[in-house]
Chain A
Amino acid sequence: MIEASITPEQQAQTWLRRISKEMLSGQARVLLVRLFQLVAQISVFWFFAKTTHWVIVEQQNVLPEQLVPLACAALIWISLIWLADNLQSHSKYKIETELENRVHRVFKNKHIAITRQHSATYWQQLLLNNISDIGNYLIQYSVQKWLSAIAPLVALLVIFPINYVVAIILCVTMPLIPVFMVLVGKGAAALHRKHFIALERLGDMFSDRLKALTLITTSGQHQDQLKRLNDASNIVNRKTMSVVSIAFLSTTVLDFFATIAMALVAVFIGFSMLGEINIGPEISLEQGLFMLLTAPLLFSELRALGRFYHQKAKAEASAERFALLLDEYELLNNKAAFTGLAWLNFHVTTPNLHANKLTLEPGDWVSLQGNSGQGKTVLLEALMGFRASSHQLSADLALLSQQTAVLDKSVAFNLHLGDLSVTEHDMVNALQEVGLIDWLNNLSNGLATELGDCPALSGGEAQRLALARVLLKPKDVVLLDEPTAHLTIEQHQEIADLIHQKLQHKTVVWASHKTLPDTWFNRIWKVSHGEIKETP
């Protein structure tokens, strides 16, 4: 397979590039305003230098109208900062909302086929943290990256006509910065690789042991684990220090060039004015001061990029998750009446599942058999449309599994699930049919009782509630994925009988490890080694 040769990192990079391209307009707008902001700042410096020259060298009083350009430039500068920040936060909001929508679109298409793959904590992190990691990266880091490349050029461009010697000094030092930063970065990375395993394994030991608190408490090993933690953190700290002692040099290199360049420029300008150095054109205070103020702009944006650098690593880690999640699969949403299917060469690609022929007539009862892990659940999910497959079922479907999902809302909402056309009478009827009427009568507020407030439903009761939900919807085909797997034998028999009785006239595909009477079924689908065989 081609996909196998692409590492998750590369996939993440590709995804990050794609999303970056999609969100380009927001980024470009912020960048543009930031550039104008830079120009406004430079003009503030220019007018300031002019005024100072007037006071100190020309020794003339400043007239109010001379300050008007300075004040105007300053006001424009401040408003542009405001505008850029606003645009930035607006774009971030838009990007994050869009990403959130995409995640929900995937959820809406793949349902449990996707949510089952990770823990609830994973999804929490994805929606709460990873989305904003990407948002920050696109709108702060990416913009800053461009800015730190363009700002030095703008600064050089304005310094060059004033004094080419200063411009050349800066021009020569500038390329040295990336060179040194890359060298330092390589050194730090090599050192990090050397200690990688220890840092990776021992670094998370604290949160690991917190999660294991019950295990540690019950086995009475708190003291021993405390000692283990202490040893681990000593090792991690020692190794981390050796890595950061190199990594910090990167910041220092930047600091070095920024500070030294500033000091050199100041001394050069001063000496030129004194006539001690006679290289290049003559410099007035106005020009000298302007250059002194503008020169730091060559470095300040790069330094700001350094502050955002952690966003890059975070975004790359997050992108790995999104690259896996957000592919382009869309569910065809036909909800026609079920008229039966006869599929040839049906197949699901991930994981591999294939059937030469698959038949389902209206009113059929199919027993879906096979050992666990052979793909029964995958088949049912593919029938539901939660997984991409060669054929799609056009019918109104319901899937009952052992997870019944009781919502923390009223009993009524748990039955109609937002469909307000379902009447109270229907709901009471449904509860009557599944044998929960006594349970309902015991509730203080009847259907309006919040489920959080009433006694927890037992496994059997929850399954009855789930069945009542299905009965309330006009579903032609009901797929059953081990709805009784977690119940005791007696409960299994009761619930299975109830399901059989209530769904007799519907089309049913039932996967169960627990025994069910053969007489219920008129068709068998047997799954083994990725192949579905049917016997009518």
Chain B
Amino acid sequence: MREASSSNTIKAEVNAKPQGLKLVATLLLMLTHFAAGLAILIVASWFIAACSIAGMGFNYMLPAVVIRALAILRIASGYFSMLVGHNHLLNKLAALRLKIFAGLENKVSISREQSLDALHHQSEEVASIWIAWVGQNAGILLSLAMLNLVSIVLLPPLTTRVIIFTGIFMFIYLGLLIAMLKVSANIVAAKKQAQFAILQHIEAAPIWHLLHSYNKNAPRLNKLRELEAYQQRQVRNASLLLILSGMGLLITILSHYSGEYLGHAEFIVLPILLLSLNDWLTPALANQKQLVSYVEAKKAIQDTSTNTQDLSVISEHIDAIEVAKFKPIDTNMNETNAHFNKGGVNVLVGSSGAGKSRFLKALAGLIEHQGSRELEFTTHAQSKQHGLLSDAVYLEQFPYVLSDTVRANLQVANLNASDANMRQVLNEVGLYSLDNLDQWLGENSRLLSGGEKKRLGLARAMLSQASLLLLDEPFEALDTDNIKRISEIINTLSTNKIVLVATHILPKGLDIRQCCSLEVDEVRVVFDTKEQAN
């Protein structure tokens, strides 16, 4: 079913789920978990202290029950906060990813593939902010509030000191956050630089043996590692500073105020909280890393719009294309003048790196072009409009295999293709092993070889209804038998479609109508069909 409004229905579906409620529930459960943990510590230590000095009338049953109730509350809220929180996270992640994907309609990536690939974990980092950072930090604030409250209610003379301590904590907390944000920008830059350096290094592998010194040229990641260690050190120092100030406060309280509370059980509560600072307050500092990566990930996701190009779509059926002074934008390629129409194969020759792929992409409208591209539609109308031709199939040099069934991999070219039709096409291109249309392909299951990928791509082209076929190096990585087979298929396709083949191999059986070279000084038609015969 193809419905124009399907994306709207999907969005509505996702939004209809009560995500807000789940979030509130998660946060409440997380807070309960935090508070119960701290409360056990407070009540239990007070209880012991009170028992040690208790007189006859001491009601010991109530606190004992409270302690056990708090324990159960803590365990239950812990489990359910994880469960509800995870559910919220998964739904939020799904919604975010769908939104990102929906935003990429009619767009193509203009930078390297990994920038889009990174969206996988970046979306995770953005979606998990509620659970991983907001919830945790709300818990911290609640705990701090409890600390202040305990001191106001039970130990009023200590309140000023506790408030000062709270201030110190906030100072350390914010200072750390600012410092980390600063460093993380450097880390992101260093990481990008390292990625690029490794890529270049690997691409230079064929000449490593000629290098005067391999080690001098090999990229080392020491700088990145040092930066990451530096960030870790910031967190560590902040934590230690916090513990140090907590212990300082503890000792001041013991030395200055114990005199006022001789024999009072409630005195124990504050020192106990300070002593276990390392368990309930310092983790909050390490947690700031989550916020920092959230900020970076969010920025990266917003950048996808600048890393992708928005294309307008031309959906009329195409009868012929005339190009004049045509070349892909921002290249040093020569300009091409040619006319492409149905019947016979149009061949584009040139060595690798001459820009054949870019030429085909520019013709399909995947990248911008200079000069003119005049489209003649089946309606006899003509247009020089720029934009993506929806009536064209661009077959990549290494056709992408979707991680999906064979059927889905073929139906991406034509949604209405029948199973019988698909099997027939697979037989024609010689992919007998993919006869089971439900077989799963892709990275985690059946991998296709280079030649199989080529033929899968061609099978897509055969199923497609498009009238313009742009084939990028269809003969590379194939043996002679398959080259012959593929040539015949391309010949058949070219009888009622406009077919352009970019290649540096010219098979004998190919029914060439015209042959353009991108590498001679002036791009020209090298020969036409009649000359090819001899």
- Do B67 and A263 touch across chains, with their CB atoms under 8 A apart? yes
Q: Does A506 contact B (CB under 8 A)?
A: no
Q: Judge whether A221 is part of the interface by a CB distance below 8 angstroms.
A: yes
Contact residue among A201, A212, A417 (Cβ-Cβ distance under 8 Å from B212)? A417
| B271 close to A48 (CB less than 8 A) | yes
CB distance from B183 to the nearest CB of A (A): 14
Q: Is B444 an interface residue (CB 8 A)?
A: yes
Nearest CB of chain B from residue A403's CB, rounded to whole Å: 5
Produce 1/0 per residue, B54-75, CB < 8 A to A: 1000101001100110110011
- Name the CB-closest residue of A to B54: A274
List A residues 218-265 near B (Cβ within 8 Å): 218-230, 233-234, 236-237, 240-241, 244-245, 248-249, 251-252, 255-256, 259-260, 262-263
Q: Which residues of B contact A123 (CB under 8 A)?
A: 198, 202
Q: Assuming A229-B101, A259-B40, A292-B48, is B10 touching A52 (CB within 8 A)?
A: no
A contact residues around B444 at 8 Å (CB)? 200-201, 204
Binds B, one of A24-32, A321-329, A393-401, A426-434: A393-401
Please tell me if A437 contacts chain B, counting CB pairs below 8 Å. no
| B218 pairs with A204, CB closer than 8 A | no
A300 CB within 8 Å of chain B: yes
User: Do the beta carbons of A224 and B504 come within 8 Å of each other?
Assistant: no
A56/B351 in contact, CB under 8 A: no
A209-B101, A212-B402, A401-B206 in contact; A201/B221 too (CB < 8 A)?
Answer: no
With contacts A111-B209, A128-B194, A237-B90 taken as known, whether A71 is within 8 angstroms of B251 at the C-beta atoms is yes
> Which of A164-172, A281-289, A359-367 sits within the interface?
A281-289
Residue of B nearest to A386 (CB): B209
B353 lies within 8 A of A458 (CB) = yes
B225–A96 CB distance below 8 A:
yes
Chain B residues positioned under 8 Å from A435 (CB to CB): none
Map CB proximity to B onto A85-97 as digits: 1 under 8 Å, 0 otherwise: 1000100110011
* Interface SS majority for chain A: helix
Q: Is B364 an interface residue (CB 8 A)?
A: yes
List chain B residues, Cβ under 8 A from A273: 48, 51-52, 54
Are B263's CB and A59's CB within 8 A? yes
Q: Which residue of the partner chain, among A207, A274, A408, contacts B58 with CB atoms under 8 Å?
A: A274
Contacting B104 at CB < 8 Å: which of A213, A234, A236, A457? A213
Pick the contact of A419: B200, B212, B388 (CB < 8 A).
B212
* Those of B389-406 within 8 Å (CB) of chain A: 390, 392-394, 396, 399-400, 402-404
Instruction: Please determine whether A398 and B332 come into contact, CB atoms closer than 8 angstroms.
Output: no
Chain B 252-263, CB-CB to A under 8 Å as 1, else 0, gives 001100110111
Asked if B98 and A233 make an inter-chain contact with CB atoms under 8 angstroms apart, the answer reads: yes
User: What is the size, in residues, of chain B's interface with A at 8 Å between Cβ atoms?
Assistant: 151
Which chain B residues lie closer than 8 Å to A293 at the CB level?
A: 272, 275-276
Chain B residue at smallest Cβ distance from A307: B283
Asked if B433 CB lies within 8 Å of chain A CBs, one says no
CA distance A149 to B40 in the complex (A): 26
- Does B102 reach chain A (CB closer than 8 Å)? yes
Closest to B90 in A: A237
CB distance B479 to A371 under 8 Å? yes
8 A-B pairs in the complex with CB atoms less than 8 angstroms apart = A48-B271, A104-B214, A210-B104, A215-B402, A288-B51, A399-B206, A417-B207, A456-B353
Interface residues of A (CB under 8 A from B): 44-45, 48, 51-53, 55-57, 59-62, 64, 67, 70-71, 74, 78, 81-82, 85, 89, 92-93, 96-97, 100, 104, 107-108, 111-112, 115-116, 120-121, 123-124, 127-128, 131-132, 200-201, 204-230, 233-234, 236-237, 240-241, 244-245, 248-249, 251-252, 255-256, 259-260, 262-263, 266-267, 269-271, 273-274, 276, 284-285, 288-289, 292-293, 296, 300, 371-372, 384, 397-399, 401-405, 407-408, 416-420, 455-460, 462, 466, 469-470, 473, 486-489, 491
Pairs A-B, 10 closest by C-beta atoms: A459-B351, A418-B212, A266-B44, A285-B52, A419-B212, A233-B94, A486-B352, A207-B120, A270-B51, A115-B205
